[in-house]
Amino acid sequence: MLLVLCALGPIKTQAQELASAAPQPGQAPQLTVERSSMPLLQYATQPKAKENRLEGLNVYALAKSAYLLRSGHMLSLPLYRKVQKAGSIRGYEKELKEAAAACGLEWELIAAVIMAESGFNPQAISPKGARGMMQLMPDTWLDLGVKDPHDPKQNISAGSAYLKRQLDAFGHNTVLALAAYNAGPGAVKKYRGLPPYAETQDFVSKVLQFYRQYKK
């Protein structure tokens, strides 16, 4: 056995093999080219898998008509804007109007909050744990007796009640009530107005924009 090993010569360790394979200073690295046995013409003419461009979009931010689009089609920009502004209300008119009547609110304001919070996605979950269409935090939905925060009817009803609570607390000032809905009433009281949080200021601006659109 000893004679056989000697005949084979010294055995390189793994570290030595890696070192010898690595490019030396001033030496161009060796490139490995992937080769295929398939002829070029066959590769160029064979059918390719179609890409579904809707998969990368948040369809809950669109109208339900977006589901009717065939695989591989994109929404035009005008249609996207039209659907994003007003289309998502469809299917929830009853829940919106019932919650508005129960809380003495305008259904357009409730819809605007939903659009800004979740884009009418009942399954929405934020990194902070807010859930459902009106993005209720656990303490909020438990306090309001919600059993399933992802149920649209329960979520809209509870979220509307919470929004009405903020309106009453801040003298029916819509801006402050929306800020309290987003950042909490404590933040509004602390800063005696709209908190200097970019997220909250953006939220208030979006809700008011959607509210004006829905009123039209």
Backbone angles phi, psi at 136, to 5 degrees: -85, 135
- Crossing angle of helices 107-118 and 93-103, in 10° steps, is 120
Residue of 55, 93, 106, 117 marked catalytic: 117
Q: Given phi > 0 = left and psi -120 to 50 = alpha, else beta, which region is 9?
A: left
Host H or E run for residue 94? helix 93-103
Non-local (6+) Cβ contacts of 73 within 8 A are 53, 54
Radius of gyration of the chain (CA): 30
Q: How far is CA 209 from CA 48, 124, 135, 214, in A?
A: 43, 21, 19, 9
Taking alpha carbons only, the member of 126, 110, 130, 116 closest to residue 174 is: 110
Q: Which helix (H) or strand (E) holds 177?
A: helix 174-183
b/e code 87-125 from CB counts within 10 Å (16+ = b): bbbeebeebbeebbeebebebbbbbbbbbbbbbbbbebe
117 is catalytic: yes
Give the catalytic positions in this structure: 117
